[in-house]
Structure 1
Amino acid sequence: MSSEPLHPAAREVLLAALDQGYADPRRLHAPARGARLMLDNAREVVAGCLGVRPDEVSFTGSGTEAVHRGLLGLLRGRRRVGERLVHSAVEHSTVLHAAAWAGGDHLAVPVDRDGRVSVEDFAAACAEPGVAVAALQSANHEVGTCQPVAEVAARIGEVPLLVDACASAGRLPLPEGWSAAAASAHKWGGPAGVGLLLVRKGARWRNPFPGDDRVDERTAGFENVPAALAAAAALRAVVEERAEVGARQRALVDRVRHGVLAVPDVEVVGHPDDRLPHVVTFSCLYVDGEALVHALARHGFAVASGSACTSSSLEPSHVLAAMGALTHGNVRLSLTRDADETDVERFLAVLPGVVADIRAEAGL
């Protein structure tokens, strides 16, 4: 699954805030002032958790919106320099869609078999004439590989860097060197429909969309104050418990990475060590991804296949293709905070039979 179930801390705060945070934070009456205090509190908590300034935090309607606003705003702020965007070949489709919408030239920097860019290659691409902005995810949403964001940022000079931190925010510290960054609350157990746009103080960011007379000039529309406060509560809880939960999930993922190799013709992808603690992806040769998803669902396992960006269409993953890995028959597991050894061992017990049955139906 790409979403984490609502964290207990978020549920408690959300229910309490629904009765208090309904008013428009722009207004001056008492309920509005209360809503404004709640929104400001949410911003303070998020800033503390991520190590940023409160005035660098904006709440958006989703992680996708945060990526779009962050990237397009940096491009607009640098249009006198050029229109070229440099990004890794494994960025989320939100980056690719925003780049296509903006027009101009964009260059995808290749990755290695683990899904990681070369710092040298990325820096060389950013040194080309007309490069306005660079985009590099903190960790891959699909295979878990972490990118050398801080090292890249130190090498690309004045080129501003957008960091898509949707997959890693809360679970790993926010890397250094970004001019704008994006995160998504449902990834860490906050409510869906809340994203974070971070814009570094002093960055040349210009609003790429029509403005709005809101408290926050970087966004538009009436903020969902209760959801923002619940997202902040969940983020704080996840950051406080990430050492323990992360270590437990990393051990479980290691067990999966080794255990699935008992199935013939299986390839585990992503960096074995420098990765998200809770994500693992593997591909099964001679197996249809959709059939695998449905078969595992019958055993109670919610897994994904195809591209993590367009999984509903089960299109081949551009991430796996860029890595030179198998693009069919892949399974992506995202462990929730309450997953345990029993869940993992049952999955590993079920998988060989499921794969064997699918291959047998295909005459293999």
Structure 2
Amino acid sequence: MAYLDTASSEPLHPAARETLAAALDRGWADPRRLHGEGRSARLLLDNARAVVAEALGVRDDEVTFVSSGTEATHRGLLGLHAGRRRPGHPPPGPVVATAVEHSAVLHAARWAGAGPVEVGVDRSGRVDADAALAALPGASVLAVQSANHEVGTRQPVTELAAHAARLGVPVFVDACASVGREPLPAGWDAAAASAHKWGGPAGVGLLLVRRGARWRSAFPVDDRDDERASGHENVPAALAAAAALQAVVAERDATDRRQRALVDRLRSGVARLPDVEVVGDPVDRLPHLATFSCLYVDGEALVTELDRRGLAVASGSACTASTLTPSRVLEAMGVLTHGNLRVSMGRDTTEADVDALLAALHEVVPRLRAEVGL
């Protein structure tokens, strides 16, 4: 099997596997307890936080481990929104978000009664910066992803954050697609990431809240020393996530060059198929991800046929792939949504894997079209 869906979940990194096995024997206790086992777990948790902070270039006290990237997104965004409330003042304004944000951002804003105000994007998936700036006055939060989960296009976070800061609007950055692969963009007040995207264990999210940011929990507060978290952290998994992040950041430049070359090879080969649209910015993008759409082809059928040939790829929206509904990200971009595939390279992906996928596509796409009389 050639696994080409690492944008969804990266296989466990060897550094994470080794660390997790060792930490299971030492990090199982509640790190808030004062006995020896609790102190041992607390030491491991503090070490994990320090490793993550160094890898991301942030402060230790800005890092909180939560249960997922989705939880980190909810807590980060809604905490900034709640932080805008003032006694005796009108409720905070709406969340301003790009139209291609992950559904966790949009659902959270709606749950809080905060809009969102969605700002359009161009055909590459990049937000209309002028429209975003025009929507900022009166906003409670600006939500802008570091790069898109489905097409890889980077967003102008730093530029928008500078304007937002002048207006006193905090910025939430969904960095789940990019952490481990690229440095954090400047200008965030809160950010979210997810360990399984970089080869850490599933069930570990990162909530980053900048020191000094006006953040307040939008959920019931737990009686723990970090109000940004709730419950007993999975200490072994947090340490394994930190070890994987440290490893992938150390390997990042070499991995970037290799994966970018593989994606360029794929994009070039796919473009030779008739009635296929390759989407996303061809240059200013994440290095490992390529998305394209095949006219007159059902995405589910395409995924199934490729899976039979040992090629694991994704179709549909990144946040609702199980429904195989048309991608709202591609719809917002105004590009073809039929038969879309998202292909993402991993640590072990080779040119032979890419060539096998191209050969299969050149066989399967015409056959599927012929089956429906085209």
Q: CA deviation at 1:187?
A: 0.1
C-alpha RMSD over aligned residues: 0.9
Say which SS state the counterpart of residue 251 (structure 2) adopts: helix
User: What are the superposed Cα offsets for residues 229-262 of structure 1, whole Å, 9 maximum, x if unpaired?
Assistant: 0000000000000000111000000011110012
Matches within 5 A, 1:331-342: 331-342=341-352
* Equivalent position to 1:226, from 210, 229, 236: 236
Say which SS state the counterpart of residue 343 (structure 2) adopts: strand
* Equivalent position to 1:131, from 121, 139, 149: 139
Q: Is this contact kept in 2: 1:268–1:281, CA < 8 A?
A: yes
Q: CA deviation at 1:214?
A: 2.2
Partner of residue 108, structure 2: 98
Q: CA deviation at 1:123?
A: 1.3
Say which SS state the counterpart of residue 354 (structure 2) adopts: helix
Matches within 5 A, 1:212-251: 212-251=222-261
Q: State yes or no: 1:70 paired with 2:76.
A: yes
One-letter identity of the residue aligned with 1:140: N
Aligned residues: 362
* Equivalent position to 2:149, from 120, 127, 141: 141
- In the alignment, the residues of structure 2 paired with residue 98 and residue 79 of structure 1 have an alpha-carbon distance, to the nearest angstrom, of 17
Partner of residue 34, structure 1: 40
Partner of residue 182, structure 2: 172
Q: State yes or no: 1:53 paired with 2:59.
A: yes
Q: Is this contact kept in 1: 2:293–2:341, CA < 8 A?
A: yes
Partner of residue 193, structure 2: 183
Q: CA deviation at 1:126?
A: 0.5
Q: Is this contact kept in 2: 1:9–1:230, CA < 8 A?
A: yes
User: What are the superposed Cα offsets for residues 312-332 of structure 1, whole Å, 9 maximum, x if unpaired?
Assistant: 001111100010011120000
User: What are the superposed Cα offsets for residues 58-92 of structure 1, whole Å, 9 maximum, x if unpaired?
Assistant: 00000000000001111111134623110000000
Once the two structures are aligned, what percentage of the paired residues are identical? Answer: 69
Q: Is this contact kept in 1: 2:106–2:116, CA < 8 A?
A: no
Say which SS state the counterpart of residue 131 (structure 1) adopts: coil
- In the alignment, the residues of structure 2 paired with residue 143 and residue 17 of structure 1 have an alpha-carbon distance, to the nearest angstrom, of 36
User: What are the superposed Cα offsets for residues 203-234 of structure 1, whole Å, 9 maximum, x if unpaired?
Assistant: 11001111112232211010000000000000
Q: Which 10-residue stretch deviates more, 283-292 or 72-81?
A: 72-81
Q: Which 10-residue stretch deviates more, 256-265 or 118-127?
A: 118-127
Q: Which runs of 5+ in 2 are unaligned?
A: none
One-letter identity of the residue aligned with 2:47: N
User: What are the superposed Cα offsets for residues 167-217 of structure 1, whole Å, 9 maximum, x if unpaired?
Assistant: 000100000000000000000000000000000001110011111122322
The TM-score with structure 1 as length reference comes to 0.98
- In the alignment, the residues of structure 2 paired with residue 359 and residue 82 of structure 1 have an alpha-carbon distance, to the nearest angstrom, of 51
Matches within 5 A, 1:320-335: 320-335=330-345
Say which SS state the counterpart of residue 126 (structure 2) adopts: coil
Q: Is this contact kept in 2: 1:79–1:132, CA < 8 A?
A: no
Q: State yes or no: 1:110 paired with 2:120.
A: yes
Say which SS state the counterpart of residue 273 (structure 1) adopts: coil
Which runs of structure 1 show a deviation greater than 6 angstroms over 4 or more consecutive aligned residues? none
Q: Is this contact kept in 2: 1:25–1:215, CA < 8 A?
A: no
Say which SS state the counterpart of residue 262 (structure 1) adopts: coil
The TM-score with structure 2 as length reference comes to 0.95
Partner of residue 258, structure 1: 268
